[in-house]
Amino acid sequence: MRIFSGIQPTGRKHLGNYIGAITQYVAGQDRGDPAIYCIVDLHAITVPYEPEVLRERVLDTTAILVAAGLDPARCVLFRQSDVREHTELCWLLSSVTELGRLNRMHQFRDKSVAQRDLVSSGLLMYPVLQAADVLAYRAHEVPVGEDQREHLELMRDVAERFNARHGDVLVVPEHRIPQVGARVRDLQEPDRKMSTTAGSEQGRVYVLDEPAAIEKKFKRAVTDSGTEIRRGDDKPGITNLIEILAVARETTPEEIERAFADSRYGDFKVAVGEAVVEWLAPVRERYAELRHDEAQLEDMLALGAEKAREMASETVADVREVMGFART
Ligand code: ATP
Ligand code: MG
């Protein structure tokens, strides 16, 4: 069972990333053979960015992942741009990717309207590069949040179309979405997902936020009408808080509803804030220890890139051959 997932080097990862993706990555280390995790810096250039900041953010993200429990000896942790096979395979796969489909992708639509100066073609091609990321490793399983469902469907179609045209070379991956916390919502606008690029600072809890900031954001979280602490489509704010607390306490949403049956919104929000602070504290501490040693972080990434290159180059050689190019 090969597991693959990518995460953007925005550095300031939020609770949605942590619950929807990072905790799954950590769990995947025991099941994956191997579990491969990629910091997707090539994806980060699809929107305006600063080169110097990007370099820093890759190291921030590496440190967060290791602080959260990824062990570079037990998984493959690397930087996407270190393995050139991703870009080559992206181009090769573009030949079996339908343009209309890319154009209709929700993420492309949302992110392109947010651009002031330039909607880059990279933003449109984003899902093709993402397909290349996964397919290069012939991964079976892709742990991601709910927002990635559409991209996963596309990469499955790309793999199927490629195999239909050129023979059974690629593995069609399955997605793995967590039972609880697949879509952590913005604390201020619970109708939308917590996002790095959309929504307000107050609605987004960062893994590395100071405890006081986390508590404040939860205290001010937007709740719904009524007074009951229960989940429901009519209660997106409270449902979100129940799920977050269930994950932080490693219990079920049902158990949280039971425990807070007689509580009021205000006390409940305080309890969620405190639980999240406690849950994230060790990650924040380890991050502080790890982040300053950049040479060590670079060594970790170099080790990962070496292992990744070995797998990806094998796939790309097979793809090149069946597509009519010289075998490398
Ligand atoms: P952006 O909003 O710019 O796309 P992002 O916050 O989605 O950024 P990514 O690096 O694109 O961050 O996502 C990393 C992982 O986190 C992906 O697997 C994604 O599905 C997951 N994820 C992102 N937001 C949430 C969320 N609100 N709830 C659960 N999982 C999420
Ligand atoms: Mg995203």
Q: How far apart are CA 188 and CA 199, in angstroms?
A: 8
Q: Residues 242-278: pLDDT tens digits? A: 999 999 999 999 999 999 999 999 999 999 999 999 9
- pLDDT tens profile 189-235: 999 999 988 888 999 999 999 999 999 999 999 999 899 999 999 99
Say what the pTM is. Answer: 0.95
Name the pLDDT band for 71 (thresholds 50, 70, 90).
very high
* CA contacts within 13 A on the Cβ side of 288: 8
Give CA angle at 43 (148, 171), nearest 5°: 55
Is residue 12 very low, low, confident or very high in pLDDT (cuts 50, 70, 90)?
confident
Q: What Cα–Cα distance (Å) separates residue 69 from each residue in 56, 59, 155, 217, 274?
A: 20, 16, 28, 25, 21
Mean pLDDT (the chain) is 96
Predicted confidence at residue 327, as pLDDT, reads 74
Ligand 1 near 24 CB (within 6 A): no
Distance from the alpha carbon of residue 317 to the mean position of ligand 1, in angstroms: 31
Residue with CA nearest ligand 1 atom 20: 145
| Number of neighbours of residue 124 by Cβ within 10 angstroms | 17
Dist. CA 107 → ligand 2 center (Å): 8
Question: Does 155 sit in the ligand 1 pocket, CB within 6 Å?
Answer: no
Residues 72-88: tens digit of each pLDDT:
999 999 999 999 999 99
Task: Indicate if ligand 1 lies below 6 Å from the C-beta of 193.
Answer: yes
17 ligand 1 Cβ < 6 A: yes
Q: What is the whole-number distance in angstroms between the Cα of residue 145 and the centre of ligand 1?
A: 6
pLDDT digits (tens, 9 = 90+) for 35-47: 999 999 999 999 9
Share of the chain above pLDDT 90, in %: 93
pLDDT of residue 33: 95
Instruction: Find the ligand nearest to 148 CA.
Output: 1
The residue contributing the CA closest to ligand 1 atom 25 is 16
**For residue 60, how many other CB atoms are within 10 A of its CB?**
20
